[in-house]
Amino acid sequence: MPWRDELEPYKIWVSEIMLQQTRVDQATPYFNHFISLFPSVYDLAKASQQEVLKAWEGLGYYSRARNLHYAAKTVVKEYGGRLPETYDEIIKLKGIGPYTAAAVTSIAFNKPNAVVDGNVIRVLSRYYGIEDDVRSTKTRNKIQEFANRLIDEERPGDFNQALMELGSVVCSPTSPKCTQCPVQASCIAAGTAKTEVIPYKSPTKKKPHKHIGVGIIEDEDGKVLIALRPEDVMLGGLWEFPGGKQKEGEEIQQTVERELKEELGIEVKAYREFMSFKHVYSHFSITMHAWLCKLISGTPSANASQEIRWVEKSELEQYPFPKANKTLTQKLKKKR
C-alpha cells in the first residue's frame, strides 16, 4: 500500500474511505491521483463537488466522495483543519462509521479501537473456530468482542494493520497458508481441518436485473443533452443521459420516449439503438440501452435533475459520469 508508512491523518482517512468498498490494488491509483489533486484537507474542502466526483470517477459508491468532501469542510470549519482524534468525535463526521472510526483513530492517533473488516472476520472466525454465519450481526458483534479483547493497547494501529494483513496475505479465503502462519499452533480451524468451511456465509439472494433506456438527443450543432442527477439519490451529483427503468410490457424505445417526456417535458422519437451494454452494481445489474432520439416538440427542462446542459461530444469526458456510462461517452466522442 502506498500509504503504508503514512502517518498523516488526512491521508489515512482518505485511504480508509476508499478501501471501504474497494480492493487495495484498485484503490491505489485512485488514492495517488486524489492526493495529487487534493494534498490536504484544506484543498479538498476548497474544491467543488464536481472536481471531487471527477477524481472519484470509476471508483463507484459515489456517496463516499460526497461525504468525504462534506466532512472535509466540517473539519476545516469546526476543527481548525485537524481531524478529531477520538472515536466518539470522529464518528460524527459524515461518511465515517464504526469501522472507519476505529481504523483511522487507531492508525493515525494510536487509540486502542479494534478494527473488524472482512479479513479480520476471516482470521478470527478461523482462529476461534466460530462456525456461525458471519453475515449475521450477532456473529459480527461476537468477533468484534474478541478483537476488542485482543488489541494491543500500546500499538493498536500496528495491531489492526497486522491482523488485516494476516487476513489478506496469509489467511486467504480459499487457500490459507497455514504452515507459514504465526498463529497456526493455536488456530482451531487449522487444527481441526475446517479452514474450508469457516467462515460460513449464508447464500446471498440473486441480484435483480433491470433494463434502462436512455436517450441521446443532438442539437443542430451536434451537441448532446446531459443531466445532473439529484444530490440525494444513488450516483447523486454525477452526470448522465436522461432516461430510466423499463416498465413491464413496454418496448425499450417506448421507455426512452416516456422517460424523456417525464424528465425533460419533451416529445421525442427514439429512432435507432446506438449501443447497449451490461453493468453490475452491488445489489443489482443493468442492461443500458442508449437510443438516438429526434426532438419532436417542446424545450427540455430539468424536471428530474439538478441541471441539464448541451455539451460538445469532445467535452463529455470533462464531466463526472457513472462508470457504466464510460463506454457510451467514448463511443459518442467518435460519432460524427
Set of cell numbers at residue 236: 447523486
Q: Taking contact as CB under 6 A, which single stretch among the options 47-55, 171-179, 216-224, 252-260 is the one that binds ligand SF4?
A: 171-179
CB count within 10 Å of CB 69 equals 23
Is residue 184 a contact point for ligand SF4 (CB under 6 A)? yes
Choosing from 120, 187, 225, 308, the residue that interacts with ligand SF4 (CB under 6 A) is 187
Choosing from 47, 52, 121, 171, the residue that interacts with ligand SF4 (CB under 6 A) is 171
Give every CB contact of residue 165 below 8 A, 6+ residues apart in sequence: 119
Is residue 189 a contact point for ligand SF4 (CB under 6 A)? yes
Q: How far is the CB of 155 from ligand SF4 (least distance, A)?
A: 20
Q: Please check whether residue 236 is in contact with residue 245, taking contact to mean a CB–CB distance below 8 angstroms.
A: no
**Angle subtended at Cα 164 by Cα 323 and Cα 139, rounded to the nearest 5 degrees:** 90
How many angstroms separate the Cα of 109 from the Cα of each of 7, 93, 164?
Answer: 9, 16, 18
Q: Taking contact as CB under 6 A, which single stretch among the options 32-40, 76-84, 96-104, 189-197 is the one that binds ligand SF4?
A: 189-197
Q: Please check whether residue 64 is in contact with residue 17, taking contact to mean a CB–CB distance below 8 angstroms.
A: yes
Q: Which of 72, 78, 81 is nearest to 51 (CA)?
A: 72
Q: Taking contact as CB under 6 A, which single stretch among the options 109-117, 174-182, 264-272, 319-327 is the one that binds ligand SF4?
A: 174-182
Is residue 181 a contact point for ligand SF4 (CB under 6 A)? yes
Is residue 195 a contact point for ligand SF4 (CB under 6 A)? yes
CB count within 10 Å of CB 39 equals 13
DSSP 224: E
Choosing from 19, 83, 123, 260, the residue that interacts with ligand SF4 (CB under 6 A) is 123
Give every CB contact of residue 78 below 8 A, 6+ residues apart in sequence: none
Give every CB contact of residue 217 below 8 A, 6+ residues apart in sequence: 224, 225, 260, 268, 293, 294, 295, 300
User: 183 or 311, CB closer to ligand SF4?
Assistant: 183
Choosing from 24, 76, 183, 302, the residue that interacts with ligand SF4 (CB under 6 A) is 183
Phi then psi for residue 243, to 5 deg, are 165, -165
Phi then psi for residue 16, to 5 deg, are -70, -35
Judge whether 218 counts as a catalytic residue.
no
State the DSSP H helix or E strand holding residue 184, giving kind and residue range, or none if neither: none
State the DSSP H helix or E strand holding residue 216, giving kind and residue range, or none if neither: strand 209-217
Choosing from 44, 190, 252, 332, the residue that interacts with ligand SF4 (CB under 6 A) is 190
User: 25 or 196, CB closer to ligand SF4?
Assistant: 196
Q: Please check whether residue 62 is in contact with residue 235, taking contact to mean a CB–CB distance below 8 angstroms.
A: yes
Choosing from 127, 159, 239, 241, the residue that interacts with ligand SF4 (CB under 6 A) is 127
Which of 6, 8, 16, 262 is labelled catalytic?
16
Is residue 225 a contact point for ligand SF4 (CB under 6 A)? no
Q: CA 85, CA 75: separation in Å to the nearest integer? A: 12
Choosing from 76, 178, 302, 304, the residue that interacts with ligand SF4 (CB under 6 A) is 178
Is residue 164 a contact point for ligand SF4 (CB under 6 A)? no
User: 124 or 225, CB closer to ligand SF4?
Assistant: 124
Q: Taking contact as CB under 6 A, which single stretch among the options 150-158, 187-195, 241-249, 250-258 is the one that binds ligand SF4?
A: 187-195
Q: How far is the CB of 179 from ligand SF4 (least distance, A)?
A: 8
Q: How far is the CB of 106 from ligand SF4 (least distance, A)?
A: 21
* Binding site residues, ligand SF4, CB under 6 A: 123, 126-127, 170-171, 176-178, 181, 183-184, 187, 189-190, 195
Catalytic residues: 16
